[in-house]
């Protein structure tokens, strides 16, 4: 895919999601550049680039998923190593951007960690960031460098297009915060939408799930950007089931799946959960009802577009 250019491309990967990095390299018909990422005896991270990067276009692929701090430090040190080795341009390719949920002060004296991480990545020497489905789109503005923000929705709604049959299919937002995302998918699938609204009638009373929209006898698809402990998505599925939904599917870009998530999903009415591979799934998280789709092709195309200074909008033309 990568042909002649005035500078050579170098594709490096940290340890967070090696399978995705290798898939991206394969899509680009490249091999990953040689880098050693290990630890000193005291636990400090040790990085050594085994190839020259002077004047090269360097892409460093690293999701800042769990262990978040370890993977973030790997990314920062790799960026610093490339900068000090006189790389021509450094792009931090971060399929999953950790700390994205700490994007505002929810309480007095809270930090805004998403902004802090953005500043650190910039200070380390990144010239550009390539990421997907930030939890809050305004985080793009936290960076003082260009941010290319990919969306995973097209991969997901293309998958579920075959599930749409007449008026029996409905897209559902699992909470009010995901309405715009669900509306976009519903528009692409040309189907109606419902919303699960979580309310607490009185102080110290259990939350009540209200479904806004008629889901009785419908095949429902719940859409979210990430699933962490799976509480919201599984409670939403229960509410849809209680309101007469025929079948319940769910999808998200980032499968964080921490704490009781796997047990909750396994015991929920969700028939199938479709996720993207921005975060690798460990063996214990690979349930029969979880299907993983790859983002390698869209990231490979984005990397090629950055390399050749082409328009990003062309990615979604097809």
For 154-175, the pLDDT digits (tens) are 999 899 998 887 679 999 999 8
Cα 260 to Cα 44, 45, 229, 230, 266: the distances in Å are: 31, 30, 6, 8, 10
CB contact at 8 A, 95 and 132: yes
Q: What is the pTM of this model?
A: 0.93
- For 7, the 3-state DSSP assignment is coil
pLDDT at 80: 98
Per the CB < 8 A criterion, the answer to whether 208 and 200 are in contact is yes
Helix axes 179-189, 153-160, angle to 10 degrees: 50
> What is the rounded distance in angstroms from the CA atom of residue 217 to the CA atom of residue 147?
42
Structural domains of the chain sorted by starting position, each given as residue range(s) with its CATH number in brackets: 9-151+296-316 (3.40.50.2020), 154-293 (3.40.50.2020)
How wide is the angle at C-alpha 228 spanned by C-alphas 223 and 229, nearest 5°? 110
**DSSP secondary structure letter of residue 297:** H
Q: Which two tokens stand for residue 56?
A: 């090269």
Helices then strands, each counted (H, E), the chain: 8, 14
Q: What is the pLDDT of residues 250-291, one digit of tens each?
A: 999 999 999 999 999 999 999 999 999 999 999 999 999 999
Active site residues: 198
Per-residue pLDDT of 101-155, as tens digits, reads: 999 998 999 999 999 999 999 999 999 999 999 999 899 999 999 999 999 999 9
- Calculate Rg over the CA atoms of the chain: 21
Average pLDDT, the chain: 93
What angle do helix axes 68-84 and 113-124 make, rounded to 10 degrees? 30
Residue with tokens 């990314």: 75
């Amino acid at each position: 895919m990568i042909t002649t250019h005035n500078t050579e491309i170098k594709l490096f990967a940290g340890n967070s999601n090696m399978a995705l990095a290798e898939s991206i390299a394969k899509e680009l018909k490249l091999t990953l550049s040689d880098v050693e990422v290990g630890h000193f005896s005291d636990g400090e991270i040790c990085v050594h680039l085994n190839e020259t990067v002077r004047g090269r276009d360097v892409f460093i692929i690293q999701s800042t998923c769990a262990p978040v701090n370890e993977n973030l430090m790997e990314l920062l040190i790799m960026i610093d190593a490339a900068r000090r080795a006189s790389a021509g341009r450094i792009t931090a390719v971060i399929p999953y951007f950790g700390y994205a949920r700490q994007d505002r002060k929810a309480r007095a004296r809270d930090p805004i960690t998403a902004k802090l991480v953005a500043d650190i990545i910039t200070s380390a020497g990144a010239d550009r960031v390539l990421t997907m489905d930030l939890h809050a789109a305004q985080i793009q503005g936290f960076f003082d460098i260009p941010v290319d923000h990919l969306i995973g929705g097209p991969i997901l709604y293309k998958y579920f297009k075959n599930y749409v049959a007449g008026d029996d299919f409905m897209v559902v937002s699992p909470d009010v915060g995901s309405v715009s995302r669900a509306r976009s998918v519903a528009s692409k699938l040309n189907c109606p939408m419902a919303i699960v609204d979580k309310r607490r009638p009185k102080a110290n009373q259990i939350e009540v799930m209200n479904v806004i929209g008629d889901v009785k006898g419908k095949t429902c698809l719940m859409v979210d950007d990430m699933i962490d402990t799976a509480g919201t998505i599984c409670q939403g599925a229960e509410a849809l089931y209680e309101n007469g939904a025929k079948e319940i599917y769910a999808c998200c870009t980032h499968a964080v799946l921490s704490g009781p998530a796997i047990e909750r999903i396994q015991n929920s009415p969700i028939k199938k959960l479709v996720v993207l591979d921005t975060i690798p799934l460990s063996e214990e998280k690979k349930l029969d009802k979880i299907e993983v789709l790859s983002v390698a092709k869209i990231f490979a195309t984005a990397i090629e577009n950055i390399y050749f200074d082409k328009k990003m909008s062309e990615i979604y033309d097809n």
